[in-house]
């Protein structure tokens, strides 16, 4: 039942007249008998938007279970109090933001809180890619960083990501996103904030960060992009995000001059008008890029997501109806992973890392080149803090190619290094060579998107209640409940299966979207025709998808 007194308190405490009026309008409708308005209020006031290891992420709107100024100010105050307790002599925080609705205001609100609570804020003058915030954190040896972004989420969402560095942490996680116990400690501090009105905010005092940081980032990027030929034609899309200008500058600085941008998607636009979901993984997201590539006879398509922390690519394909094939995240991971392994060959202190849902091929590549390998939980908060890391990736188009300077995924450097690789040798040739040597490592997701979040828990429960004994006709040799944790991995809500045939399936709820996801990989030896082995792999992936959908039962 709705507690209107709580809602009235929230409205009175909301510093944003727009979201306050939005909630007021819902109250008026609900009190007039509108069931939909009542349900919407129930959802908005079901609790405060949870702060976890991904920080905050949710739909924009009024109320405690939405992204808005009131929620962000409370989060900023909680984070500031946490840092005050940790560093009573003062702290420095870098603040970045994307071009979504509300992002700049949320960043300014955070700076105002930091300046009023014993800290010093360094805030970017304009919206820039997320990797620039992660870079600036280490560049200035600041103690923390916040970036306001919802990355590739739908246009109605926004988010608030937190990193720790400087004197706040001292291990290999310096400069990385927060993990436990920091998330719980910050959330506890947020919950102790009595009201927005009680939060101290400064009117000035923060330091503006300008083009000099971008220049330092690009100078470093040039150092780590291998030399070689540059005579390829590239089509580039920024997916209406903030990466366009920086990505184009990076390619030009590295010597790639034949670059054609998808003009309809080049400039930031929070409405994302040409795509249903602003995510290069989604079907249709690269349609405009492919059309341009056909027109200009390109050699390579590069794409960033809206905050440019992800990298996607497509290459010419004689068998595709469009003449182009988008590479999977695992294929790009194997290409960039081999590139990094070659650079550090014979050094066992150099580590390649990937999440458990990503391809096992990178472990084989690490072994071949005499470097080490590590598996982690999903998310760059885990991948990027691996000691000795020289390259880390996960299949969702995320690649950490310069962990000494950017301890997070970075779509700008990843695209630049991939372009250098493609200019040296066709990427399909490299993929074929890997398959001939190690077998076809083929992967595919099974994604079940839900309206009712309870269905995700139900699907996981179904799998736990009825253990799988075989998948695609092959006996299950390992069935690991990741919630129990292990010597290798902390506990997480997930299930991992290995079969006698070498298949791997990992099932887990998405951390950022209403989805239950299965990450499937098969390994098919190449004893004859490579195309035949690839077709066998594709056929087997489809059988596994059907088996898992039935077993999940939602």
Structure tokens given for 372: 């080490």
Q: Yes or no: say if 358 and 393 are a contact pair by the CB < 8 Å rule.
A: yes
Q: Do 259 and 378 reside in the same domain of the chain?
A: yes
Q: Which range has the worst mean pLDDT, 59-63, 276-280, 398-402, 419-423?
A: 276-280
Q: Where are the alpha helices (DSSP H) in 165-254?
A: 182-191, 211-224, 244-253
Is residue 19 domain-resident? no
Question: Residue 451's pLDDT is what?
Answer: 85
Q: Write the DSSP symbol of residue 139.
A: H
Q: What are residue 160's DSSP bridge partners?
A: 56, 148
Q: Do 355 and 411 reside in the same domain of the chain?
A: yes
Res 20 pLDDT > 80: yes
Question: Residue 51's pLDDT is what?
Answer: 87
Q: Do 382 and 349 reside in the same domain of the chain?
A: yes
Q: Yes or no: say if 174 and 407 are a contact pair by the CB < 8 Å rule.
A: yes
Q: For 529, list phi and psi in degrees, rounded to 5.
A: -75, 130
Q: How far is CA 331 from CA 362, 434, 522, 538, in A?
A: 10, 10, 13, 15
Q: Do 304 and 403 reside in the same domain of the chain?
A: yes
Domain count, the chain: 3
Q: Do 493 and 352 reside in the same domain of the chain?
A: no
Residue 301: give its domain's CATH number: 3.40.120.10
Choosing from 430, 448, 476, the residue where a domain stops is: 430
- Each as own residue / partner, the long-range contacts of residues 26-35 (CB below 8 Å, 24 or more positions apart, any chain) are 26/62, 30/2, 31/4
Q: Yes or no: say if 329 and 359 are a contact pair by the CB < 8 Å rule.
A: no
**Cβ partners under 8 Å of residue 115, min gap 6:** 121, 202, 204, 205, 206
Q: What is the rounded distance in angstroms from the CA atom of residue 35 to the CA atom of residue 29?
A: 8
**Cβ partners under 8 Å of residue 114, min gap 6:** 76, 80, 93, 95, 120, 121, 206
Is residue 264 domain-resident? yes
- Catalytic residue positions, numbered: 151
**Domain coverage including residue 228:** 220-430
Percentage of the chain beyond pLDDT 90 is: 94
Is residue 7 domain-resident? no
Q: Yes or no: say if 57 and 17 are a contact pair by the CB < 8 Å rule.
A: no
Choosing from 159, 184, 209, the residue where a domain stops is: 209
Surface-to-core class of residue 511, CB atoms within 10 Å of its CB (0-12 exposed, 13-18 middle, 19+ buried): middle
Q: What is the rounded distance in angstroms from the CA atom of residue 265 to the CA atom of residue 466?
A: 47
Q: Write the DSSP symbol of residue 383.
A: H
Q: What is the rounded distance in angstroms from the CA atom of residue 517 to the CA atom of residue 538?
A: 18
Q: Do 195 and 259 reside in the same domain of the chain?
A: no
Residue 504: give its domain's CATH number: 3.30.310.50
pLDDT digits (tens, 9 = 90+) for 281-324: 999 999 999 999 999 999 999 999 999 999 999 999 999 999 99
Q: Do 426 and 445 reside in the same domain of the chain?
A: no
pLDDT digits (tens, 9 = 90+) for 336-360: 999 999 999 999 999 999 999 999 9
Per-residue confidence band for 488, with pLDDT thresholds at 50, 70 and 90: confident
Is residue 295 domain-resident? yes
pLDDT digits (tens, 9 = 90+) for 36-93: 999 999 999 999 998 887 789 999 999 999 999 999 999 999 999 999 999 999 999 9
pTM: 0.95
Is residue 35 domain-resident? no
The mean per-residue pLDDT over the stretch 488-500 comes to: 94
Q: Do 526 and 456 reside in the same domain of the chain?
A: yes
3-state secondary structure of 104: helix
Q: Do 227 and 328 reside in the same domain of the chain?
A: yes
Q: What are residue 300's DSSP bridge partners?
A: 234
Per-residue confidence band for 175, with pLDDT thresholds at 50, 70 and 90: very high
Q: Do 409 and 537 reside in the same domain of the chain?
A: no
Is residue 277 domain-resident? yes
Q: Where are the alpha helices (DSSP H) in 297-344?
A: 329-343
Q: What is the CA radius of gyration of the chain?
A: 24
Q: Do 369 and 314 reside in the same domain of the chain?
A: yes
Is residue 300 domain-resident? yes
Q: Do 458 and 338 reside in the same domain of the chain?
A: no
**Cis omega (within 30 of 0) on the bond before 181?**
yes
Is residue 132 domain-resident? yes
**Cβ partners under 8 Å of residue 375, min gap 6:** 353, 354, 355, 356, 363, 488, 489
């Amino acid at each position: 039942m709705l507690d209107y007194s709580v809602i009235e308190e929230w409205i009175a405490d909301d510093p944003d007249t727009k979201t306050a009026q939005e909630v007021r309008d819902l109250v008026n409708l609900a009190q007039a008998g509108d069931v939909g308005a009542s349900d919407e209020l129930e959802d908005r006031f079901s609790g405060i938007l949870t702060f976890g290891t991904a920080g905050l992420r949710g739909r924009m709107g009024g109320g405690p279970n939405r992204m808005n100024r009131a929620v962000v100010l409370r989060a900023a105050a909680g984070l500031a109090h946490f840092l005050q307790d940790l560093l009573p002599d003062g702290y420095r925080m870098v603040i970045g933001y994307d071009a979504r609705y509300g992002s700049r205001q949320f960043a300014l609100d955070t700076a105002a809180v930091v300046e009023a609570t014993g800290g010093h804020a360094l805030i970017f003058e304009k919206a820039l890619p997320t990797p620039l915030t992660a870079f600036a954190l280490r560049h200035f040896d600041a103690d923390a960083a916040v970036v306001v972004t919802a990355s590739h989420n739908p246009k109605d969402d926004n988010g608030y990501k937190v990193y720790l560095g400087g004197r706040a942490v001292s291990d290999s996680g310096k400069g990385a996103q927060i993990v436990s116990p920091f998330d719980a400690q910050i959330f506890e501090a947020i919950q102790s904030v009595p009201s927005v009105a009680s939060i101290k905010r400064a009117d000035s005092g923060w330091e503006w960060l300008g083009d000099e940081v971008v220049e330092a980032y690009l100078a470093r990027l040039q150092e780590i992009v291998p030399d070689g030929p540059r005579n390829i034609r590239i089509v580039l899309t920024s997916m209406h995000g903030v990466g366009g200008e920086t990505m184009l500058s990076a390619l030009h600085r590295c010597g790639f001059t034949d670059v054609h941008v998808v003009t309809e998607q080049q400039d930031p636009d929070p409405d994302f008008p040409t795509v249903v979901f602003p995510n290069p993984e989604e079907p249709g997201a690269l349609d405009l890029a492919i059309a341009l590539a056909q027109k200009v006879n390109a050699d390579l398509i590069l794409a960033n997501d809206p905050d440019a922390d992800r990298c996607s690519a497509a290459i010419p394909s004689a068998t595709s109806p469009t003449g182009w094939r988008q590479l999977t995240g695992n294929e790009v991971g194997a290409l960039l992973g081999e590139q990094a392994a070659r650079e550090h060959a014979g050094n066992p202190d150099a580590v390649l890392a990937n999440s458990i849902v990503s391809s096992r091929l990178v472990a084989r590549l690490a072994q071949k080149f005499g470097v080490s390998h590590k598996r982690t939980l999903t998310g760059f908060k885990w991948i990027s803090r691996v000691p000795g890391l020289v390259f880390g990736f996960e299949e969702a188009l995320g690649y950490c190619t310069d962990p000494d300077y950017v301890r997070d995924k970075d779509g700008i450097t990843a695209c630049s290094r991939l372009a250098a690789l493609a200019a040296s040798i066709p990427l399909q040739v490299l993929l074929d060579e890997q398959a001939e040597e190690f077998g076809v490592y083929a992967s595919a997701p099974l994604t079940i998107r839900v309206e009712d979040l309870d269905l995700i828990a139900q699907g996981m429960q179904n799998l736990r209640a009825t253990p799988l004994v075989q998948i695609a006709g092959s006996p299950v040799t390992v069935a690991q409940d990741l919630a129990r944790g292990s010597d290798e991995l902390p506990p997480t809500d997930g299930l991992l299966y290995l079969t006698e045939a070498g298949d791997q399936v990992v099932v887990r709820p998405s951390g950022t979207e209403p989805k239950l996801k299965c990450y499937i990989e098969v390994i098919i030896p190449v004893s004859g025709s490579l195309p035949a082995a690839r077709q066998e792999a594709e056929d087997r992936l489809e059988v596994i998808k059907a088996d898992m959908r039935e077993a999940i039962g939602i």
